[in-house]
Amino acid sequence: MDSAQGEPLWQPSPGWAKATNLMRFAAQAAQRWNRRLDTMAEIHAWSVEQLEEFWLSVWEWGGVIAEIRGETVLRDGAKMPGAQFFPDARFNFAENLLRRRDAGEALVFRGEDKVQRRLSHAELYDRVSRLAQALKSDGVGPGDRVAGYIPNMPEAIVGMLATSSLGAMWSSCSPDFGVKGVLDRFGQIAPKVLILADGYYYGGKSFNCLEKAREIAAGLPSLRRMVVVPYTRTDPSLEALPLARSFDAYTAPFAATDIQFARLEFGHPLYVMYSSGTTGVPKCIVHGAGGTLLKHIVEQQFHCDVRPGDRLFYFTTCGWMMWNWLASGLAAGATLLLYDGSPFHPDGNMLFDFAEQERMTQLGTSAKYIDQLMKTGIEPRRNHRLDSVRLLTSTGSPLAPEGFDFIYRSVKRELCMASISGGTDIMGCFVMGNPAGPVWRGEIATAVLGMAVEIYGDDGKPVPEGEKGELVCTRPFPTMPLGFWNDPDGTKYHAAYFDRFPGIWCHGDYAARTPHGGFVIHGRSDAVLNPGGVRIGTAEIYRPVEQMPEVLESLVIAQEWQHDVRIVLFVKLRDGIALDDPLIRRINGQIRANASPRHVPARIVQVGDIPRTKSGKIVELAVREVVHGRPVKNREALANPEALDFFRDRVELRS
């Protein structure tokens, strides 16, 4: 079907829609609360207008295991921040993820084409039990921190669950971070234990982490123990690390027994997450256990239709919030499919090979990965059987309409394609897919249930449909952060989200509503271009430029120029292609035809690479600082910091 003619790209059959968790949940809630909940619009309106009914229903649907729930669902519900969900509850996050102890598969792991492993639910439980006892013997208890410098592998899940079973906080980052990047994060939170792998694989090569481990340990005086997981070596030498023991040696003294879960308050801290840190030391964002569990039940079970026995995958590292999100899939009774390494090694089919061989049901990736697939000409549907995949999600940056076309043309026709958007700040999403509704080209289907999402103008009032503005949330939700680390009076936390519109969460995304009730994200509002006072979202330029076969990637900024700003576009071109006047004219023509004349850049500059964060997001703000001769305070936050050198001292930007 052609959405340009008013038809959706995909429409579920009535039987498909009725069988989704979303519509089953709505039917139960409608009967209990005597509400009409037949459409997504009705379900969402109820979820934000009747917060107590909704979140109580989510608790019951998810079968939350708790010592006590308490009678109060929401206290101080008019405060934002300050509202408290389930203030009297006592429960443990890990207990809710470890509810199965059977022989069914809990984790399936692939480290590129080098390593394959499987763990049953019983094996996962036993490993968590033994590690929890070992951590407790080292003095880890409620409120302490355990850090993971580790690939997306089973021991990362085991480490997180063992930590949270004790009421301690888990924090992790990807092993490709340099020493400074690790210390900028973990140095703030003073962990007692660091769990790390001896190395990792990427692009068919192995990289040694132990060479950095000694320097990291020296920078973390709080450490009592380093636990090393053999991954790229069978027996790594630990002689240079006096605090280190191998994972097996560390847990060997302890027999697997019933885990003694620490049942703590709903808002007890669970995770310490980090902002990208490209313009300074990363902010440490503290998230609570109860909010994380309930939010992920909503997003996974209603918006992604995850069911018991499903096989859930997200391409992520342990330094991205989507890893924490993926881990929560155990609470739904799903098998987690873990992958570490390059998705293009040995070729771009790796993730689809994994999907076919492991009967993946939900496939999660990034818009950048989909764009790269389009550029390479790979068509997974031609050589993969993907009949098990019901839903494909994309996040990290806005997915262009052409990305939707590619999925339905070249991956699979009968599935729900869901672009999703949220952030580390909220441990989840503001807007997501609707597995019981149509997919419209280039649109995010709906606001997430329980999230009172609006688009505000500069005057702090909702803007009309189709008009761009700030994405905000006007009512409390369970994954509002508990606060920032070392921000005792909440000043930094309040300034980050509530200064723009008092009492309203302002996320920093530039967005608009669509006629179908969905959303389009036009980029980060702090990266919005403003030539001549006209606000332009960066995604509006990326889309037409990156359709061009000559262009691999692009990045656009606003350069301060003659008491105004002008648009400067940087392009990374295919090998052997140079930016000449005819190509500049074609790029400008493409932008003019597909956006508007005011989107046409004042300058176009060819660069050798585009800088990005460890999670793959391009960093317009860091480039803007470099172009203006200002320092980038934290190059360690970038996956390829050397790419910034392409933007420094460019003669083209002086005229």
Measuring CA to CA, which residue among 484, 526, 535 is closest to residue 506? 526
Q: For residues 453 and 647, give the distance between their C-alpha atoms in angstroms, rounded to a whole number.
A: 37
Please report the pLDDT score of residue 406 as a whole number.
96
Confidence of residue 286 (pLDDT cuts 50, 70, 90): very high
Q: For residues 269 and 277, give the distance between their C-alpha atoms in angstroms, rounded to a whole number.
A: 22
Q: State the CB neighbour count (10 A cutoff) for residue 137.
A: 12
Please report the pLDDT score of residue 532 as a whole number.
67
Q: For residues 309 and 277, give the distance between their C-alpha atoms in angstroms, rounded to a whole number.
A: 38
- Residues 108-120: tens digit of each pLDDT: 999 999 999 999 9
Please report the pLDDT score of residue 533 as a whole number.
64
Fold of 528-654: GMP Synthetase; Chain A, domain 3 (3.30.300)
- Residues 331-350: tens digit of each pLDDT: 999 999 999 999 999 888 99
Residue 189 pLDDT > 70, yes or no? Answer: yes
Cβ atoms of 327 and 160 within 8 Å: the answer is yes
Please report the pLDDT score of residue 223 as a whole number.
97
Please report the pLDDT score of residue 534 as a whole number.
67
DSSP, residue by residue, 344-400: TSSSTTHHHHHHHHTT-SEEEEEHHHHHHHHHHT--GGGT---TT--EEEEESSPPP
Tokens of 601: 């850049």
Q: For residues 588 and 599, give the distance between their C-alpha atoms in angstroms, rounded to a whole number.
A: 9
Please report the pLDDT score of residue 599 as a whole number.
86
Please report the pLDDT score of residue 343 as a whole number.
93
Tokens of 253: 């003294």
Q: Which residue would you say has higher pLDDT here, 499 or 652? A: 499
Cβ atoms of 322 and 504 within 8 Å: the answer is no
Q: For residues 496 and 480, give the distance between their C-alpha atoms in angstroms, rounded to a whole number.
A: 12
Tokens of 147: 């850090």
Confidence of residue 4 (pLDDT cuts 50, 70, 90): very low
What average pLDDT score do residues 454-461 get? 95
Give the β-pairing of 469-473 and 505-513: antiparallel
**How many angstroms separate the Cα of 234 from the Cα of each of 286, 296, 310, 480?**
35, 36, 32, 42
Cβ atoms of 576 and 621 within 8 Å: the answer is no
Q: Output the furthest CA–CA distance in the chain (Å, rounded).
A: 71
Tokens of 96: 């809710």
Tokens of 171: 């924090």
Domain range list for the chain: 122-265, 528-654
Q: Which of 353-367, 471-485, 530-544, 582-596 is least confident?
A: 530-544
Burial call 22-51: b when 16+ CB within 10 Å, e when fewer: bbebbeebbeeeebebeebeebbebbbeeb
Total-model pTM: 0.89
Confidence of residue 3 (pLDDT cuts 50, 70, 90): very low
* For the chain, percent of residues with pLDDT exceeding 70: 97
Please report the pLDDT score of residue 2 as a whole number.
38
Tokens of 276: 């990208």
Enter the DSSP assignment of 637: G
Q: For residues 129 and 256, give the distance between their C-alpha atoms in angstroms, rounded to a whole number.
A: 5
What average pLDDT score do residues 351-358 get? 98
- Residues 471-517: tens digit of each pLDDT: 999 999 999 999 999 999 999 999 999 999 999 999 999 999 999 99
- For 174-209, where are the alpha helices, taking DSSP H only? 179-189
Q: Where are the beta strands (DSSP E) in 412-563?
A: 416-419, 421-423, 428-432, 446-447, 453-456, 469-473, 483-484, 505-513, 519-524, 551-561
Average pLDDT value over all residues in the chain: 93
Question: In CATH, what is the architecture of 122-265?
Answer: 3-Layer(aba) Sandwich (3.40)
Query: Distance between terminal CA atoms of the chain?
Result: 48
- Residues 200-245: tens digit of each pLDDT: 999 999 999 999 999 999 999 999 999 999 999 988 889 889 999 9
Please report the pLDDT score of residue 538 as a whole number.
85
Measuring CA to CA, which residue among 461, 623, 469, 627 is closest to residue 535? 469
DSSP, residue by residue, 597-616: GGGS-SEEEE-S---BBTTS
- Residues 94-152: tens digit of each pLDDT: 999 999 999 999 999 999 999 999 999 999 999 999 999 999 999 999 999 999 999 99
Please give the distance of CA 301 from its chain centroid, rounded to a whole number: 17
- For 234-349, where are the alpha helices, taking DSSP H only? 247-251, 289-296, 321-327
